[in-house]
């Protein structure tokens, strides 16, 4: 499992954030239409990137373990809202492209495995969010 992540304003632009994940330093922000300067991906972009990366890695691990002829995995994601019983809910559409000489059965199994990646499982459940202020 991943370690800790620190996010803090970097003072370089409107809504611009420095994201520190282990040895990795990234930027996050908001697009111009939301008042930001588009210096980095928006928070929901990072959420979708996490799901896409986890999906692709999970499929690669499974294909290697099973010796499947999977050449490449590509995951395209988009976010929109849907109405569920009168309540607007976020919906991530995930389109997975598998390149390789795979049978229909292998492709179906890989879709099942994609739906078992850890981030997919976490997002499909209700998170418990523990939030506190530092003194």
Spell 20-30 as b/e; 16+ CB within 10 A means b: eeeeeeeebbb
For 112, the domain range is 43-124
Task: For residues 74 and 109, state if they share a domain.
Answer: yes
Which residues partner with 7 through β-bridges?
19
- Listed residue (44, 43, 26) closest to 93, CA to CA: 44
Is there a domain that residue 132 lies in? Answer: no
Residues 67-116: tens digit of each pLDDT: 999 999 999 999 999 999 999 999 999 999 999 999 999 999 999 999 99
pTM of the model: 0.92
Task: For residues 48 and 101, state if they share a domain.
Answer: yes
How much is the pLDDT for 124?
92
Residues 33-71: tens digit of each pLDDT: 999 999 999 999 999 999 999 999 999 999 999 999 999
List helix spans (H) across 1-135.
43-66, 104-114, 118-124
Is there a domain that residue 133 lies in? Answer: no
What tokens were used for 74?
A: 């590509």
Task: For residues 76 and 19, state if they share a domain.
Answer: no
């Amino acid at each position: 499992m991943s370690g800790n992540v620190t996010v803090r304003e970097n003072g370089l632009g409107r809504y611009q954030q420095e994201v520190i994940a282990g040895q990795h330093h990234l930027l996050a922000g908001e697009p111009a239409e939301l008042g930001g300067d588009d210096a980095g991906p928006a928070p929901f972009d990072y959420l979708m990137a996490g799901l896409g990366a986890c999906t692709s890695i999970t499929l690669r691990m499974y294909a290697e373990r099973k010796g499947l002829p999977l050449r490449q995995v590509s995951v395209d994601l988009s976010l929109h809202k849907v109405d569920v019983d009168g309540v607007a809910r976020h919906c991530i559409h995930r389109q997975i492209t598998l390149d390789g000489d795979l049978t229909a059965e292998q492709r179906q199994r890989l879709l099942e495995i994609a739906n078992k990646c850890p981030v997919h499982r976490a997002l499909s459940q209700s998170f418990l969010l523990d939030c506190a202020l530092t003194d």
